[in-house]
Structure 1
Amino acid sequence: MMEDFDEIYEEEEEEEDEERAAEEQLLKYAPDPVVVRGSGHVTVFGLSNKFESEFPSALTGKVAPEEFKASINRVNGCLKKTLPVNVRWLLCGCLCCCCTLGFSLWPVICLSKRTQRSMEKLLDWENSRLYHKLCLHWRLSKRKCETNNMMEYVILIEFLPKIPIFRPD
């Protein structure tokens, strides 16, 4: 009786391996993601206060320029609300750093993580509202700067592979 159970389990593992191989095959042919870099003049812990609103040519035919600009404006609006508070706390933390042995920087770190989470939630909402239907996925990603060794946050717009609906089960 236990031998039969093991056989069923092994068949399920083989099916999962086949599904993973098919997904990897689809991802191999997906184009490179579009990178939207920060273009603001203030950066706190790698997160710029503004992202470029210029429509990337790689998204032509995938999404309307108006929708792209509206999404970037919502992201920039979120940053406009949260980043000035982070900058003020950073300045206060730096002024008091020697007296508090660095503990005065904790509020800035917590606020920065909170800003990142709110950005990720906003991008998830944008994905579920529109971009997943267009086979696109927006996400916040940490990348190395092109000009120096610092890290920065960018918005990656990835192309999701279309699932072949004519493939047999």
Structure 2
Amino acid sequence: MSYYDVDAILTDSQKLPCTFELDVPGLGYLEGNASGTVKAGTKIDLPMWLGIMLFASSGNAPGAPRLVTLDFPVPLQQRVINALKADPKTVDLRSQAPHFYALGARIMDLFEDGKVLDTLLDTFKERASEIADQAHNPRGALGDGAEFLRGLDEKERQLFKAAHEGPKSVRAWTQDLQKNT
């Protein structure tokens, strides 16, 4: 991940459910309390970058618990995973998270859940074939496939663009070869 990667920055700004395990003075503004203390057991949705930093921190005593525990974000909770298992093509990934697969990759670094990872991989594979079909069939993209295309996340949009422009580039390249020989 590059420091200047806009997609990575947007992925890290995705909200992540965090539960505070310790009382933390001075962070009350996170829950709307200007100068108060966040009490142990408080659940707050924090940007992923902040949640991960607090998760990596612990109290100031040796063996103290972590400041927060992390939960799966809403786009990767069981309800969405079940829908992806049932029919990945019907789920609007963009409404779940514009950078859905990048979010999944970051979360898998934290949680290492094999079943969720397998579901994400299967989803991408199945949707990739539909994306390639839509990219080569413009009538489908304008008709029945329009709803599917609106629900593509950023990686899938890049795949669609590459699949759509690839054959044009190959044709132009072969025409240039024929002209030069």
Q: Select the structure that is richer in strand.
A: 1
Q: TM-score, normalised by structure 2?
A: 0.27
Larger RCO (alpha carbons 8 Å, 6+ apart): 1
Q: TM-score, normalised by structure 1?
A: 0.28
